[in-house]
Chain A
Amino acid sequence: DIQMTQSPSSVSASVGDRVTITCRASQGISSWLAWYQQKPGKAPELLIYAASSLHSGVPSRFSGSGSGTDFTLTINSLQPDDFATYFCQQAKSFPYTFGQGTKLEIK
């Protein structure tokens, strides 16, 4: 199975900051990567697919990059609604696997 490792596991930031979260795959997955946002008590929501494509309705302050084994999610100009947990997911092969999550907290 392909293992997905996110870092950091948690990060504190302020409204208006820029934050970068990384995700590393245990083997090359080309651009078969998604990012999700999850708020407490809610289901995950798709933010980015194919490593860098913004899902419909997602604000443009979210962006994704990377290919192969190393990927990043960047959030520019953090808004209060962005404080949540973020997960990456590889879609290169079954079983699809997720990173362990990065909790973005308010500083």
Chain B
Amino acid sequence: QVQLVESGGGLVKPGGSLRLSCAASGFTLSAYSMSWIRQTPGKGLEWISYISSSDDSIYYADSVKGRFTISRDNAKRSLYLQMNSLRAEDTAVYYCARGYYYMDVWGKGTTVTVSS
């Protein structure tokens, strides 16, 4: 069935880096735009990055611009989020989600904790 599975979360010190992965199955990843969205109890849901199906459009939230990089490898059916210069406020559950305007498939999420 259609499924997204995130991985790569964990505990990292401030200033550190992590690379999140999102494995897609049950559909052709190359045909879809994808996003990363994070959630914290305090700030709720925050869209942070988008990549178009053809990779020609990429957007970031101001809160992560210059620190995070979204990419995809359609042959590996995977979406990625490279996160550098991590801060305490990046602590969240990170979801990958499918869709251009509306996110119709979400992964279960992976938890990122930034703490010394």
Interface residue SS majority, chain A = loop
Q: Do A43 and B107 touch (CB < 8 A)?
A: yes
Size category of the binding interface on chain A: 20 to 34
Knowing A42-B108, A43-B95, A43-B109, say if A95 contacts B103 (CB, 8 Å). Answer: no
CB contacts between A and B, total, < 8 Å: 52
- Residues of chain B at the chain A interface (Cβ within 8 Å): 35, 44-47, 50, 59, 61-62, 95, 97, 101-104, 106-109
List the A side residues contacting B95 at CB < 8 Å: 43-44
List the B side residues contacting A95 at CB < 8 Å: 47, 59, 61-62
List the A side residues contacting B62 at CB < 8 Å: 95
- Residues of chain A at the chain B interface (Cβ within 8 Å): 32, 34, 36, 42-46, 49-50, 55, 87, 89, 91, 94-101
Closest chain B residue to A92, Cβ basis: B101
